[in-house]
Structure formats: C-alpha cells, structure tokens
Amino acid sequence: MNPTGVTIPSELESRSIIAWIEKNQIKNEKGERIDFYDYPFLYDIYRDKSQNLVVVKCAQCGLSTCECIKNHYDARHDKMDIIYTLPTDADVVTFVSGKVNRIIANNPCMLADVADKDSIFQKQVGQSMIYFRGTWTNKAAIMITADRLVHDEKDSSKQDVVEDFKARLDGQRSKKQRHVFSHPSVVGHGVDVEWNDSNQREWFITCPHCKMEQYLTWSTTDPSQMSVDLERQIYVCKGCNGELSDDDRRFGRWKARKSKKGAKYSGYHISQLMAPRISAKDICEKWKLVMLAQQTEEYFYNKVLGLPYASSDSKVNEEDILGSVTEEKNPMDARVIIGVDTGIKLRFVVGNQYGVIGYGERDSWEPREPTADDPRPAVKMEDSIEGLLKMFPNAIMVIDANGDIKGTRELQEKYPGRVFLCFYRLDRKSQQLIKWGEKHEAGTVVVDRNRMISLVVSEFKDKRVRLFNGTRAQYEDYWLHWSHIRRIVEESNVGTPEYTWVRSDRDDWVHAHVYYRVGLERFGQAGGVSGAGIDIQPNSYEIRPNGTIGVEDIDMLKLFNRQMDDEDDDWRNR
C-alpha cells in the first residue's frame, strides 16, 4: 500500500521503477522521499529504458541519486551486472560512502538486497553485481563482463580508461548498455560527444500569456534568447516577455530537437533554469559573481547552465588593451593594490578599484649600497619595489611566490599584513578561483592561473578596465606583453581538455596585472591612499606627434632594450 492508499500489484512493481519507488516509499541519502514536485524533469529519465542514455547536466540536479536508484532497481529486477565509474578512487569512496550507502541504509528493501556482499567497490544486488571504479589507474578497467557501463562525470575522468571500459560489454550475453552523464567542459569533448550523437531533448514549457512553447536559455547578448530578466530578476517568456512562474517551469515536457532516427543515445539536457526550486534571483546572484570576478563565465556555463563553454577569446587584441587607455583622472580615493611578477626584472602593475594607474619595473626588492661582496650598483629606495610600499603607505602588494623566494619572504616579513605571496594552483575540489590563506597559511593566496587570466582578459574585452595616467604610446610596452599570450585547449595528464594560456615571449606584465586583480578582489574596496598626488611613470617612452622621442626618454628606451637582452636568464625559461 502506498501513501495514496492505492495497492500496487507486485507485477507492476517489477515492470515500473515508478511503481517500485511509490510502493516502497524510496528515500534519498537524506532520508527524504523521492518525489518529482521539484524535480519533474527526472520522471522520464527514471523511466527511460533506452539502450544508451546521455545526460548533460548542471550541478545539484538530483541525477546522481536518480542513477543510483535506477541501477539498483535494474540490477534487482532485470538481473544486470553494472560497472559504475567516477574520475578517481577517492571519488568512489566519497560517493559510495556519502550517497550510495546512505540511500541503501534508508530503504529496507534495498538493504535486504545487498545483505550478502556489500563493500565500497562492489555490491551484490540479488543475483547481480554493481562495481564502482575510478578511472585514473590503468587497472581500472576490470576484467569482467558487464551489461551496463555508467560513466559519472565523464569530462573529469581519464578518457583512455573510459574507452577501455567499452570492452567490458563485449560478452556474448551482455545487454551492452551505456549511461553517460556529466557536467560538460568544452565543445567536442567528454559528454558532449555522446550528446551530439543523441536526439537532444530539452525541457519545453508553455508560456501562459502567449502560449509559445519554448525551452529556457541564457544570452546576455541576444535578448530573444534570454529567459531571465536581470533587472527584475524573474524568468520571462522569450516571445512576449511575460513572467514565468515556478509552476510554468514545473509543468513542462521533454521534446527532442533532433530526429530519433540515427541517434545512438537517448539524450537529455538539464540546466538550473528549468529547476522550479531555483529562482531567477538565485541565477542572477550566480551571474553577479561572474561580473564581480569572483567566478568565471566558464564555471557559470558548465555548472549552472549545463553547457560546454565555447569562448572565442583565444587571443588578446591591441584594441582590447590600448582601447582601455583613458584621459579621465583616477579619483585616487581607494586603496592602492600593487601586483609584482618576479624574474630578472621585477615588473609591477599599480592600480585601485577604478583601474590601472601605472606600470614599470625595478632591479631590486629594496635599496642597497655596493659592498666588497656585492659590487652591484647602488639602488635608492624610490627605485626599489619596497619604494612602492613607501610611496603608498596603505597599499597592498601581491607578489609571484614562485620566483625570487628570498626577496619576497624578506619583504613580507618587513611589511606584515601588506604583502601577500600568490601561488598558481588549481583547486579541483572546491573550484575556487581565489583562495586566501588562513591561520598558518596567512599571507598567501592560491589562484587558478588559467581561469584568472581568462577573467582578466574578459574584463578588458568588455571594457571594464581603464588605464589611467598615460597615452596609448606609453602603454605600448604593457600591451606587447599581452600580445604574447594566447589560449589553447590541451589535454591534461588525465586526458581531459583544459583551456591553457601559453606565451610566445615575455608576459610578465600580464601576471603582474593578474596579481593586482587578485588583491583587488579582497582589498579594493577598503582603505585610503596617501601620496595620491604622486604620478607613477609607465616604463615606456612617449612618441610625440611628429614621430620623435624626447631626450628625457632615451634612458627609458635603453633600459627597455637592455631588459629584453637579459630575458634568457629568467627563471621561467630554465
């Protein structure tokens, strides 16, 4: 007897997973009953018995729970051996202990099924087996025959091992089923391959005002393809711009965009736009993080929209940078942030929340005098990196932590709370773009290099950066460093594609700007500035309208040329 008081016959339970869920009051890992009120789009996916299934999904859409229950049901009633893969063995341990085991423990009928053999890496369900495996080891593709392969988070898995698993369906009696689902990454990779070979179902809803049938989409450049009104923070019809309620989004239907004929997979796309429990305000808040540079557009597309990210911004153009030069005056009423990149030359970018106010280079971290042991020329305070901290007593400095270790640490000890060491490192677990150190890691900041550079490039392209206190000619050297980088898609050591920024020549001021931008994220809105009247001179020479260079600029020109001759000694090239 189910909660509605209707008796469900056993033969119906064995034929319908929905009947089985209702009769046994199946619960998720939190002990909550499975119902489809807030997840109406999952109903047909639970019921889908296609040979091959692909779901391109956003984060937190209930699909992993769906697949766990679906696999258990099919193993029990259809006598299927199933291999379930995740990116790593550590992911398997977390997933099985944190989700699978808790679902089983909350459902007596499922607990009875696995009584004979139950471990992290394999579970016996009736007469069938479900194996859980990571994909980062060569031994992952176990030597057993399976009826179904399930690849969870395919885009983060080791791709050659995922391919190896296909051989596990070669058994004569194998049912040869494949289920693939994942957050997408980039176009043409991972789950996007199976998606392009599917009938591509989208969740269509009907506008109550104009009766237009549509699926919800996102575009900040094409209003006709935008289903969220950013100003009013509501979902809207793409036809009449009328407001769409939660129920309007709830009562939809799956509709294929491609013909089923020739499609190898039954395909579904799930985005957070279609989830009744996620409001338009929630979506706007997540987009606001992109606009505030606290998250990347790539993350928004992959995890919120459930779409592969396809950016055309693979190169930085001259107008992207020099078009940001302005004759306006920087108010200089906000805290100054200094980004420093290390090498043979110490190159820096200085700015505040309004934009960049200068850039340049120094030979030394601190002032010095020639000695018998160190006969190098004297350096005055104003000609050292420390001199910038003296010039702006309230400034924050973020420095490349991977270059001159001794000089950076000594400066940090001398100016506690004002100097931070920046490490480029990918935080795969939390996907944080910027992570400031706490407690014993105070004074450090960890940054996702490629995503942070992409964010800064997008800010330039969107004209959200201004370059003050100079002409286009004076910012020419700064622009040259940006011209030396481009973004490519390359395969990581686990076979997944990653957007990577590579350089063809010097890119020091690129990284100095990144470090300045990192500091701006935390400190840009706070503090005052002393020395606001001081003009920081860019490390470039001014070309006059008649094409000549002033005598006062000759030394700067020679310094730049000499610096270029020394590049091969830089630690980055070793």
Nearest residue to 181 (alpha-carbon basis) of 196, 166, 169, 191: 191
The pTM for the full model equals 0.67
Mean pLDDT of the region 443-469:
89
Lookup: tokens for 304: 């919120």
* 529 has pLDDT over 50: no
Q: Which of 122-126, 406-410, 521-525 has the highest mean pLDDT?
A: 122-126
Q: What is the pLDDT of residue 540?
A: 37
Q: What is the pLDDT of residue 159?
A: 81
In the structure, what pLDDT confidence band is assigned to residue 157 with cuts at 50, 70 and 90?
A: confident
* 527 has pLDDT over 60: no
Place of tokens 């957007």: 499
Tens of pLDDT, residue by residue over 102-114, are 999 999 999 999 9
Torsion of CA 100, 105, 108, 112, to 10 degrees: 70
Mean pLDDT of the region 329-337:
92
Which residues on adjacent β-strands are paired with residue 267? 54
C-alpha to C-alpha distance for 317 and 60, rounded to whole angstroms: 37
Q: Is 79 left (phi over 0), alpha (psi -120 to 50) or beta?
A: left
Q: What is the pLDDT of residue 119?
A: 87
Range in 9-13, 219-223, 269-273, 569-573 with the lowest mean pLDDT: 569-573
Specify the domain boundaries for CATH 3.40.50.300 within the chain: 10-206+253-278
Q: What is the pLDDT of residue 498?
A: 72
Three-state SS for 128? strand
Q: What residue spans of 78-197 are helical by DSSP H?
A: 89-95, 101-105, 108-113, 159-165, 191-196
Nearest residue to 354 (alpha-carbon basis) of 337, 371, 370: 337
In the structure, what pLDDT confidence band is assigned to residue 494 with cuts at 50, 70 and 90?
A: low
Q: What is the pLDDT of residue 550?
A: 35
C-alpha to C-alpha distance for 497 and 155, rounded to whole angstroms: 8
* 293 has pLDDT over 80: no
C-alpha to C-alpha distance for 404 and 254, rounded to whole angstroms: 58
* 534 has pLDDT over 90: no
Q: What is the pLDDT of residue 431?
A: 63
Lookup: tokens for 296: 């990347």
C-alpha to C-alpha distance for 342 and 348, rounded to whole angstroms: 9
Range in 349-353, 404-408, 460-464, 480-484 with the lowest mean pLDDT: 404-408
* 324 has pLDDT over 60: yes
Tens of pLDDT, residue by residue over 24-78, are 999 999 999 999 999 999 999 999 999 999 999 999 899 999 999 999 999 999 9
Q: Which of 5-19, 193-207, 445-459, 532-546 has the highest mean pLDDT?
A: 193-207
C-alpha to C-alpha distance for 57 and 306, rounded to whole angstroms: 5
Tens of pLDDT, residue by residue over 246-278, are 999 999 999 999 887 889 999 999 999 999 999
* 554 has pLDDT over 50: no
Query: Among 3.40.50.300, 3.30.930.10, 3.30.450.20, 1.10.3720.10, what is the CATH number of 10-206+253-278?
Result: 3.40.50.300
